[in-house]
Structure 1
């Protein structure tokens, strides 16, 4: 019968293919540096907006990986308030949103602080403020006291995907993990974030919330690797997009004899794709900021501003005068006047191909 990684005598000594991993790590580090360089050149409010959006996505997507859908506005408001950012339309979120936000902000804003048992218990208490996971009462703010299996399927036909180390070994396992986390300094921090994520998941020290906590631990080490609490990319968003592959590689690597190359390769590639998609978003944000800088003196009405922002954010489909009228709740006549005014101001133009209806695009 196949053994779990923690049942080998070499546990927790991990090995990997140095050449393969270093090549990917180099790519990640290069893109990370490029992105941080770009961010350092933008103004304060743009930077603030990017950080707020990234942290909001991180909280939403990390919960969604576990099948929990949180309210976007609640998460955004909670983060903004805690970071001292005010904006119109802020709402007061419920307790479970506050808890997830609290954990994520502690991980990313206090990234220089050591990680200890007490801090992890605080995160766990924040995640489960009622002492329950759904309907079930769980051990909160302490390590699990029962056995832990990851199971799927209907009752009587369950499939065991993973069985974690015995409950009576968890404290000792976590002592070794935390000592390594706080004292080992030779491993590159991006690589360390990948190892820590996997190691924590294997121990599965809590009754529930292990996935979200593992991702917060990754974010903490990624913040250390960037040496800034300002987050510009979201690993959790990318993991969600690749959720099936994430679980597949975890499941495969849990049976290895200590060689975690497969996991590290997947994690670094996933992080690289997260950085790539951030770069694309960032280019859009910069383009939008440039546009409004250029048109700071241009006289525009509220309808025009609304539609231009929509186009700068990436308008779905083609823009026609009837869509303009519908979105701005104006008459067809008013829509045509608004559009013609923007054509006269060299902001919009008619799309050349024509056809039955006229389409418009930004110049």
Structure 2
């Protein structure tokens, strides 16, 4: 099995899996090592697990998905808990271009897998950082609504406040408010001013052609 790109006659071979006759022995070695090895650092083992399984390439399809799933299983072992809030699989999908590049260079190179392990550990750190950021946002959203549990808001206002809490792209002004809520400019301005008066929104500094607004932070 090969992974190839390029025009006919000028193909570039990105990866070539072991011959099919070797698969039973390779998989037996992998499974035995995965289940029995207790000396390798568990996080390093997760990196080796992914590389080894995706290089054996035992299936016609889905090798990447299976490798990510088995890697997540090993990371769960490393954490010593069934509850994990970060997802290495999701981070690898986000960084698939870099993932395929380091995977290809490692598979085509010598038996030195240091560069692969370094990339894997850095990707794992980014996965954890991304999850911390997400959890902070979720927790802040809960705190915000608890703080404003007695603040009266109509459905349009709740919709727009939630969009701001979830990470509104660009600047929020009355025109965008009117477009998203499908209402008039005057109604949008009244909605916004009402939330400013209730200390939910505040005007952003900087000026420009139109006034923009953001959530007032809760200390």
Partner of 2:33: 180
The counterpart of 2:119, out of the listed 262, 266, 269, is: 266
SS in 1 for 2:166: helix
Query: Any residues of structure 2 matched to 1:1-363 within 5 Å, and which?
Result: 148-363=1-216
Superposed displacement of residue 334, structure 1: 1.5
Q: Distance in 1 between matches of 2:108 and 2:130?
A: 32
Deviations 1:3-52 (A, max 9, x none): xxxxxxxxxxxxxxxxxxxxxxxxxxxxxxxxxxxxxxxxxxxxxxxxxx
CA contact (8 A) 2:46 2:75 kept: yes
- C-alpha distance in structure 2 between counterparts of 1:294 and 1:189, whole Å: 42
* Structure 1 residue runs without a partner (length 5+): 1-147
Asked if 1 retains the 8 angstrom alpha-carbon contact of 2:48 and 2:117, the reply is: yes
Q: Give, in angstroms, the shift of residue 168 of structure 1.
A: 0.9
1:306-332 Cα distance to aligned partner (Å, 9 max, x none): 000001111111111121111111122
Contact 2:204 2:211 in 1 (8 A): yes
Contact 2:69-2:89 within 8 A present in 1 as well: no
Structure 2, gaps ≥5 residues long: none
Q: RCO (CA 8 Å, sep 6+): is it higher in 1 or 2?
A: 1
> 1:256 Cα deviation (Å)?
4.1
- Runs (4+) of structure 1 exceeding 4 A deviation are none
* Whole-angstrom distance in 2 between the partners of 1:260 and 1:166: 22
Larger radius of gyration: 2
Aligned length: 216
* Cα distance in 1 between the residues matched to 2:212 and 2:139: 25
RMSD across aligned C-alpha pairs, in angstroms?
A: 1.6
Q: Which residue of 2 aligns with 1:76?
A: none
Q: 1:152, 1:212 → 2: CA distance?
A: 21
What TM-score results when the alignment is normalised by the length of structure 1? 0.57
Superimposed CA distance per residue, residues 185-242 of structure 1 (whole angstroms, 9 cap, x where no aligned partner): 1222211110000011121111121111111111111122223333422223322333
Q: State how far apart, in whole Å, the 2-side matches of 1:316 and 1:246 are.
A: 28
CA shift for structure 1 position 243: 2.2
